[in-house]
Amino acid sequence: MRLSEQPLLTDFYETREQIKLSAGSLYVFAFSGEERSESQGPWLEGQDVDQLEIREVAKSSTLLDIDGHDRVPLRSRAALQALWTHLGVEEICLDLTGIRNDVWAPLLRAALDVGLRVKALYVEPAEYRFLEKPRPGELFNLSERREGLDQIPGFAVLDDPLGDGDSVFVPLLGFEGARASHMFSELQPRSERVVPIVGAPGFRVEYPMHTYHGNEIFLRQPEHHSQVKFAIANCPFALYHRLGEIAEHYEADVIRVGILGTKPHALGAVLYAIAQERRPLDERLPVALIHDRPIVQATGFRTMGMAHALLYDISGFIEEVL
Amino acid sequence: MDPTDQANLAGEGLRFEREEEVSREFGAYRAEWVDERLFELFRAPQYLGSLMAVQPMVLQGGRGTGKTTVLKGLSFRGVHARSGGDMDALARAPFIGLYWKVMMSQVAPFHGEEVSAERWDSLFSHYLNLIHCGLIADYLVWRKDLGVPLALRAGAVEEVAECLALEGVETLDELLATLRRAHRRFEVYVNNVAGEKAPPLSMLGVPQRVFAEAVCAAEARTGSRFCFLIDEYENLSDYQQRIFNTLIKESGGAIVYKVGVREEGWRERATLNPTQRLEEPQDFRRVDIVQELGRGGSFSRFAASVCEGRLARLDQPTLGSMGELMPELTEEAEAELLELDKLLAARREELLGCAPDAAGRSELEELAPLQAYALLEWSDAHKTTTSLEEVVADYLARPGDWSSRFGNYRYTLLFTIRKGKSGLRKYYAGWETHCLLAAGNIRYLLQLVETSLRLQLRADLGLDRPLTNEIQTRAAQQVGEKNLFELESVSGTGNLLLRLMLGFGRVFGRLAAGGSAHRPETNQFELSRRVPKEELPDADQWERLELILTDAVMNSALIRTPANKLQERHDIAADLFIVHPIFSPFFVFSHRRKRKMMVRPLQVLALIDDPSATIGPLIDSSDDDERAGVPIEENLPDQMRLFAEYYRAT
């Protein structure tokens, strides 16, 4: 197929207001408190779309309160599939901006399971909050503390003494270096099997530098900095392919991805895990999606404003890679 | 190229190679980083013998104290590797060690509201059974790969399969394959725990007992048993610890346990039987690594053997022993390095002029430099209440009292000689001193040595001469700083932990610089019980305080001395806390365990939330007239200048 004929999987918009969703589709969102996750506004007016708000997530993040529906367990693929089937739509737009990673991931997979056309939306922030009193290695005021490591619900990979050979740890780096260091100190992988990924080019030209600066201590560990790989910060597909390269190069028996960076990168990792699931058993690579459940700052929000909006054709991509 | 430039380049290249070599040998100090070489570098700590006892044991120690290395060393792979591949060594070992590390991300999925607590008990029990059987199976596979397979008695495989509710299993190979499938099936179930029907679950402890007995019966040596070496027990949640405690309580025969856990990490003593708990010494024996290594210089000897083993592997000239490489620095020699002679020269006449007569003057002239300085310093520190003439007169009248005072303040005086000046204000040099800085933590010790060696090479000085005092001190500062920043990463409260240490570090550093204005070497704190009612913390504040202090102890930021050594859990209201000595060179205070200050509970939280408003009053409460009014962010040691903004009042 000629390059000009190949489908474009990402639509890029200067502002969210420019987006026109497919008529009759369902727009799924959650309000996280940040301005960019607000669904209200002129951009949906006049569009022939229904809206579905995810209102509340139980503390253990395993049960959802979805507007107008009973609580839905995230760890029941059948229940999530039934939710989508019951809604009777053919296409959804999952706005990842305000939905937590551990919530949209199982929802996304179930939507693909039942054959919906799935698009994912992400709105970049205009800027992140700088610390009032910055310290070496910590510039941004993003999270107060972490609840501890866990795996994305429904995607857990359990320890198998007979099965686990060589694993590779791939932290998707954000700005907060303490999170990567924490995950590293908990998982304790061998340093030569650690492959950090930096989002570059970043949302803004200086953001990759912030990533290096924020993760300075982690990257100073033996070999980490020399093994860094890059993937465009707002492109899940670039991250997806990067994971494939890493898995092949390191001949991993299991790949442990640290979900610490951008939402698009998290999306890429989830798509990679979904794609692996769909492979024949003897070709499948277990993909552990590990997150640290950060508790965001109580005072004020992590980000301000809105910048570009990106609409990803998830179904189109899955069809392409499988 | 100019021959001089060529020579310089060659020299730089050689230096770079040598630094790389030092980093390779000393820089890989985590057990997980040195998989292949772990057992080559292994040095048996003196408490290893006690771990060979066939009884349940709990090995307690913070990060970097060597728990993982020791537990891995006890595993069958470890014993085999350390003996150079001798299967007889394995046969002679008191048990077959099977190592398993509890990873938080692995056990966290066994929580959630979708199923009841009782159901989680059953599910996690079954998972543990699968893990245990998988570890035994892994041992059998290893033996088979080495060409020394074991043949289990007839029917044993079927019995194990039955216990795990596995069907269609007759041979060992079928059991291994089915175990893997069972594991994957269980994983799918846990990922759909709210929607799927559970696979058949097994009873806690039963499958592995049957399996272990069958394998041990097949071993050539009678009395064989398996020892499950469970690392990072603290990562289990409370209910999971109760389940595992049950396994430990009911162990015996072919199975025994040894558990590695951080201090404060073993939160539960209860078992699944509400009337039974794990009791010491009936059910287990505890080995506290730091205490064991602290007996009679044991840590110093153990650490020396670890370091000298790595030194011997370097392909460059080195001194052979750590004592030679890092000779101790006496207080007098340190005072000289701190340029006390210049200070005394400048104030000599001021001191001698206070003598009442020629005899007094003669007595003053005979004082050792530190003693002479002590008089000057005492006068400076108490200038609002006493003059130098009065101090001299008091010394001449009561030399015995002053002799005692010299002894108490001798070390403290060293912190004051260069206070407020740039450059080093205190030295931390000598092998024994660095062992004290590490305080039983072999990882810290290796960091100190590695950093010192690299700095020595970088200064174009070889390792075939003693490391300079300055280099050792700068290394100690760098290691303290590195571990300070790493606190953020080691726990969920990391940012709060870092702020706590920045607060106490500054307080103790300022107290040290205050010299005789304060009680000497104050570097510990205890929560004050004399607190006005309106300043008592509420329930949330106590919880937050408990969380942070527990985390600090668990992550070796603070060392706790319990008020009651018999208590199972610490009582933050009664215990004594010391800032880990590894941080003392960075903040510049004493690394020796000496004196405490009382701190109100809310002041600890305020140190985290509002340091600039809290540090000053804490210091002032030590009756430090000179310090009153001096901003906290001023007079910082060079290595702390980056934190000036942090300490500045908003």
The DSSP element (H or E) to which A255 belongs, if any, is strand A254-259
Cβ within 8 Å, pair A187-B127: no
A interface mutation test: which of B72, B102, B114, B636 has the most A CBs within 10 A? B114
Q: Which of B23, B490, B648 sits opposite A185 (nearest CB)?
A: B490
Cβ within 8 Å, pair A181-B486: yes
* Confidence at residue B230, expressed as pLDDT on a 0 to 100 scale: 97
Residues of B in contact with A163 (CB under 8 A): 180, 183
Rounded CA-CA distance B557/B374 in Å is 33
Bridge partners for A147 per DSSP = none
pLDDT, tens only, A100-131: 999 999 999 999 999 999 999 999 988 776 65
Q: Judged by CB atoms within 8 Å, which residues 383-442 of B form the interface with A?
A: none
Q: Judged by CB atoms within 8 Å, which residues 147-186 of B form the interface with A?
A: 176, 179-180, 183-184, 186
Paired tokens of B147? 């060409």
Paired tokens of B545? 């305080």
pLDDT, tens only, B294-310: 776 788 998 999 999 89
Q: How many CB atoms lie within 10 A of CB B285?
A: 16
Chain A touched by B495 (CB under 8 Å): yes
Cβ within 8 Å, pair A156-B191: yes
Contact B559, B578 (CB under 8 A): yes
Contact A301, A104 (CB under 8 A): no
Looking at residues B266-274, what average pLDDT do you find? 93
Cβ within 8 Å, pair B35-A190: yes
Q: How many CB atoms lie within 10 A of CB A223?
A: 14
Contact A149, A281 (CB under 8 A): no
Rounded CA-CA distance B187/B180 in Å is 11
Residues of A in contact with B191 (CB under 8 A): 75, 77, 153-156
Rounded CA-CA distance A277/A271 in Å is 10
Chain A touched by B16 (CB under 8 Å): no
pLDDT, tens only, B149-195: 998 988 999 999 999 999 889 898 899 999 999 999 999 999 999 98
Q: How many CB atoms lie within 10 A of CB B173?
A: 12
Chain A touched by B648 (CB under 8 Å): yes
User: What 8-state DSSP symbol labels residue A296?
Assistant: E
* Confidence at residue B158, expressed as pLDDT on a 0 to 100 scale: 93
Work out the percent of chain A whose per-residue pLDDT is above 90: 50
* Confidence at residue A140, expressed as pLDDT on a 0 to 100 scale: 53
Distances (CA, A) of B284 to B45, B252, B257, B258: 21, 12, 9, 9
Nearest CA in chain B to A72: B194
Nearest CA in chain A to B194: A76
Q: Judged by CB atoms within 8 Å, which residues 235-264 of B form the interface with A?
A: 235
Looking at residues A139-167, what average pLDDT do you find? 77
Q: Judged by CB atoms within 8 Å, which residues 496-535 of B form the interface with A?
A: 496
Name the residue with higher pLDDT: A3 or B372: B372
Residues of A in contact with B141 (CB under 8 A): 162
Which residue from B574, B599, B470, B472 is spatially nearest to B523, judged by alpha carbons? B599
Q: How far is A13 from chain B (nearest CA, A)?
A: 36
Rounded CA-CA distance A161/B149 in Å is 19
Q: Across B29-182, where does the E strand assignment appear?
A: 57-60, 96-101
Q: What is the DSSP string of A129-145?
A: PEEEEEETTEEE--EEE
Rounded CA-CA distance B130/B111 in Å is 18
pLDDT, tens only, B540-583: 898 899 889 988 988 889 998 877 665 555 677 778 999 999 99
* Confidence at residue A54, expressed as pLDDT on a 0 to 100 scale: 86
Residues of B in contact with A138 (CB under 8 A): 488, 495
pLDDT, tens only, A287-308: 999 998 776 655 555 677 788 9
At B192, the amino acid letter reads: N
Residue A45 has pLDDT above 60, yes or no: yes
* Confidence at residue A212, expressed as pLDDT on a 0 to 100 scale: 93
Contact A185, B64 (CB under 8 A): no
**Across A152-166, A181-195, B577-591, B613-627, which has the greatest mean pLDDT?**
B577-591
Cβ within 8 Å, pair A182-B490: yes
Cβ within 8 Å, pair A157-B104: no
The residues, ordered by sequence, that sit 6+ positions from B575 with a Cβ below 8 Å of its Cβ are B526, B560, B561, B562, B563
Average pLDDT in chain A = 85
Work out the percent of chain B whose per-residue pLDDT is above 90: 52
Residue B618 has pLDDT above 90, yes or no: no
* Confidence at residue B572, expressed as pLDDT on a 0 to 100 scale: 76
Contact A56, A32 (CB under 8 A): no
Judged on CB neighbours under 10 Å (0-12, 13-18, 19+), A53 is middle
Rounded CA-CA distance B279/B608 in Å is 37
User: What 8-state DSSP symbol labels residue B639?
Assistant: G
pTM: 0.87
Cβ within 8 Å, pair A156-B496: no
Name the residue with higher pLDDT: A66 or B128: B128
Chain A touched by B650 (CB under 8 Å): yes
Looking at residues A268-292, what average pLDDT do you find? 93
Torsion angle of C-alpha atoms A230, A236, A242, A245, degrees rounded to 10? 180
Cβ within 8 Å, pair A186-B104: yes
Contact B469, B452 (CB under 8 A): no
pLDDT, tens only, B392-421: 999 999 988 888 888 888 899 999 999 888
Contact B180, B194 (CB under 8 A): no
Contact B246, B278 (CB under 8 A): no
Give the pLDDT band (50/70/90) at residue B107: very high
* Confidence at residue B624, expressed as pLDDT on a 0 to 100 scale: 39
Residue B264 has pLDDT above 90, yes or no: no
Cβ within 8 Å, pair A187-B493: no
Q: Which of A60, A137, A185 sits opposite B112 (nearest CB)?
A: A60
Cβ within 8 Å, pair B104-A155: no
Q: Which of B28, B187, B643 sits opposite A156 (nearest CB)?
A: B187
Biggest CA–CA distance in chain A, Å, is 57
Q: Judged by CB atoms within 8 Å, which residues 234-293 of A form the interface with B?
A: 256, 288, 290, 292
pLDDT, tens only, B51-60: 888 899 999 9
Contact B470, B518 (CB under 8 A): no
Paired tokens of B274? 């509400």
Q: Classify the C-alpha dihedral B68-B71-B76-B82 as positive or negative.
A: positive
Cβ within 8 Å, pair A76-B196: yes
Q: Which of B33, B183, B495 sits opposite A160 (nearest CB)?
A: B183
Name residue, tokens 């993003």.
Answer: A142
Poorest-pLDDT segment among A245-249, B344-348, B493-497? B493-497
Q: Across B529-575, where does the E strand assignment appear?
A: 558-561
Residue B628 has pLDDT above 60, yes or no: no
Q: How far is B176 from chain A (nearest CA, A)?
A: 8
Cβ within 8 Å, pair A151-B642: no
Judged on CB neighbours under 10 Å (0-12, 13-18, 19+), B599 is buried
Distances (CA, A) of B114 to A63, A71, B386: 8, 11, 73
Nearest CA in chain B to A80: B195
Contact B467, B572 (CB under 8 A): no
The DSSP element (H or E) to which B181 belongs, if any, is helix B172-190
Looking at residues B420-430, what average pLDDT do you find? 93
Chain B touched by A75 (CB under 8 Å): yes
Residue A61 has pLDDT above 90, yes or no: no
Residues of B in contact with A150 (CB under 8 A): 104-105, 108-109
Cβ within 8 Å, pair B109-A151: yes
Q: In degrees rounded to 5, what are phi and psi of residue B58?
A: -120, 120
* Confidence at residue B464, expressed as pLDDT on a 0 to 100 scale: 93
A interface mutation test: which of B160, B239, B488 has the most A CBs within 10 A? B488
Q: How far is A186 from chain B (nearest CA, A)?
A: 7
Residue A87 has pLDDT above 70, yes or no: yes
Rg of chain A on CA atoms, in Å? 19
Q: Tally C-beta pairs within 8 A across A and B.
A: 167
Cβ within 8 Å, pair A182-B489: yes
Name the residue with higher pLDDT: A302 or B66: B66
Rounded CA-CA distance A189/B59 in Å is 22
Cβ within 8 Å, pair B111-A60: yes
Q: Classify the C-alpha dihedral A93-A96-A102-A105 as positive or negative.
A: positive
Tell how many helices (H) and how many strands (E) occur in chain B. 30, 9
Chain B touched by A221 (CB under 8 Å): no
B interface mutation test: which of A145, A284, A292 has the most B CBs within 10 A? A145
Chain B touched by A169 (CB under 8 Å): no
Rounded CA-CA distance A201/A224 in Å is 20
Torsion angle of C-alpha atoms A21, A25, A26, A27, degrees rounded to 10? 0
The residues, ordered by sequence, that sit 6+ positions from B65 with a Cβ below 8 Å of its Cβ are B289, B290, B293, B440, B441, B442, B443
Angle separating helix axes B494-513 and A177-187, nearest 10 degrees: 100
Bridge partners for A194 per DSSP = A169
3-state secondary structure of B406: helix
Contact B565, B72 (CB under 8 A): no
Cβ within 8 Å, pair B489-A180: yes
Q: Which of A145, A148, A154 sits opposite B191 (nearest CB)?
A: A154
Q: How many CB atoms lie within 10 A of CB B279?
A: 10
Looking at residues B441-468, what average pLDDT do you find? 94
Which residue from B504, B472, B511, B465 is spatially nearest to B603, judged by alpha carbons? B504
Residue A69 has pLDDT above 70, yes or no: no
Which residue from B322, B294, B296 is spatially nearest to B308, judged by alpha carbons? B322
Chain B touched by A77 (CB under 8 Å): yes
User: What 8-state DSSP symbol labels residue A34?
Assistant: S
Looking at residues B382-396, what average pLDDT do you find? 89
Give the pLDDT band (50/70/90) at residue B625: very low
A interface mutation test: which of B19, B38, B105, B110 has the most A CBs within 10 A? B105
Name residue, tokens 């059998």.
Answer: B140
Looking at residues B239-267, what average pLDDT do you find? 94
Which residue from A58, A144, A142 is spatially nearest to A103, judged by alpha carbons? A58
Q: How far is A144 from chain B (nearest CA, A)?
A: 7
